[in-house]
Amino acid sequence: IQGLRLLAYRAPMEGTGNFYVEYYFLIDPKTRLPKPLDLQPIRTKLAEILPEDRAVCKWGGFDIEALTFGGDVWKKGDGNCCPSGGSVTMKLAIRDFALVVVDAEYSPRSLRDEVDR
């Protein structure tokens, strides 16, 4: 990714939802040791751009290969199945072994609505 070597690890979580957690490490070319890639910049940007009663409740929108994040947004009171709070998209980059948000946009339209446009 961006000329850096990456180690990715995917581990299943307990429960009936078939969920998993992913871990990403960038390999330092000098030491050849893995450095964890912190995804907190995505969460921080979500807190900045989403309206107060909105949240991303299902995390699966991070694409390490494309360095993007995108997902549906839930309004307060939405059921687990049915987000109605719009969508969010982000472009990301890696700088000094850290994930940074290059661009981020919240839309009141869902991702499905955006594709149908």
In the predicted structure, residue 45 carries a pLDDT above the cut 70: yes
The pTM for the full model equals 0.84
Answer yes or no: are the C-beta atoms of 45 and 68 closer than 8 Å: no
Average pLDDT over all residues of the chain: 89
User: How does pLDDT run across 49-84, given as a tens digit for each residue?
Assistant: 999 999 998 777 899 999 999 999 999 999 888 899
Residue type, 113: D
The C-alpha atoms of residue 31 and residue 51 are separated, in whole angstroms, by: 42
Determine contact, residues 104/90, Cβ cutoff 8 Å.
yes
Q: What is the mean pLDDT of residues 2-25?
A: 86
Tell me how crowded residue 64 is: count the other CB atoms within 10 A of its CB: 17
